Amino acid sequence: MSAFLYRLGLTLRETGQALDRLGCQLQGNPAYREEFFRHRSVLNLPSAVSDIAPNAFVAPSAAVSGKVSVGSNSSIWYGTVVRGDGAEVTIGDNTNLQDGVIVNTGPINLVSARAETRIGNSVTVGHSANLYGVTLEDRCLVGMGATLHKGVKVETGAMVAAGSVVEEDTVIPANQLWAGNPAKFLRELKPEEKSFLPNSADIYSKLAAEHKSEASKLPPY
């Protein structure tokens, strides 16, 4: 019943708006030419089309544009921007880009080259991290607010601490923890930290399924 009333109300409002625009046209009043923005979570470009797995979750307020591939059970959370308009972005399975993450492949200044970004399987990228032309192998973790510059490679099972800044072309070996600005080797990961990495990805995959299901429903009014 609530869904029917919502649809009825929407139809009446749109009909009224259409009649108002028609009246303005007949009067010669340009006020009907309203310009407004409709957000699109996935924006395909003429030369660059995204490929999103059916069971992946792209939050309503996220922005994915250009040539971006998102694998099965992966999630792109609220306020995250993934731009594949400069070069390709590939995101594997069971990976999560948390709220406010920025992934950019285009040049950040006049002399920068475009750079692909490759993100593997079961990767966790924390809130507000910034990635530009990097490679993240499987089961690694990038902490909240970290910045990874062009050419950075984070090998399988490695971790970048929150707030770290990783300089261009740095390679972070497998199973190591790096931290700081500029980021440097801190220590080898502990056994419990190694086991946490895939668990973190699984938790976000399950949570994303709930958000995807709820986001597909009509508003409850």
Label residue 7 exposed, middle or buried (CB < 10 Å: 0-12, 13-18, 19+): exposed
Residues ≥6 apart with Cβ < 8 Å to 25:
32
d(CA 76, CA 79): 9
* Residue 108 pLDDT: 56
* Residue 124 pLDDT: 97
Best mean pLDDT range from 21-35, 93-107, 142-156, 204-218: 142-156
Tens-digit pLDDT profile for residues 111-126: 566 789 999 999 999 9
Q: Quick check: pTM over 0.75?
A: yes
* Residue 221 pLDDT: 44
Q: Would the pLDDT of 24 be above 80?
A: no
| Rounded mean pLDDT, 83-93 | 92
